[in-house]
Amino acid sequence: MKATIYHNPRCGTSRNALAMIEEAGADVTVIEYLKAPPSRDELKRLYERAGITPREGLRAKEEAAAGLADASDDEILDAMMRDPILINRPLVETDKGVRLARPSETVKDIL
């Protein structure tokens, strides 16, 4: 099985999800999204495949998210492209689907 994780190594939840993927024996591609963020179209596709909106994928705890309370999905995606820290993580994709693995155990649904 192949898996891709949009990962932040400083995030405990992201590290836990990565460990679960590796323990499952997946051939995993790790993308440190702060260094190599997905394109706007790719992020939109991931959210659609996960069945969530950009707002649900927003890391609302970040200071930069404060001005997005009334923003549209397109405005949120634009903000994520300007400041990738706004992308909540980890996002994990396999042939079985995409999950925003928060909590990290939700990754098991697609392994």
Residues annotated as part of the active site: 11
Pick left, alpha or beta for residue 2 (phi over 0 → left; psi -120 to 50 → alpha; otherwise beta).
beta
Question: How many other CB atoms sit within 10 Å of the CB of residue 75?
Answer: 14
38 preceded by cis ω (within 30°)? no
Mapping DSSP to helix (H, G, I), strand (E, B) and coil, where does residue 95 land? coil
Which residue matches tokens 């995993």? 28
Say if strands 2-7 and 91-94 run parallel, antiparallel, or are unpaired: antiparallel
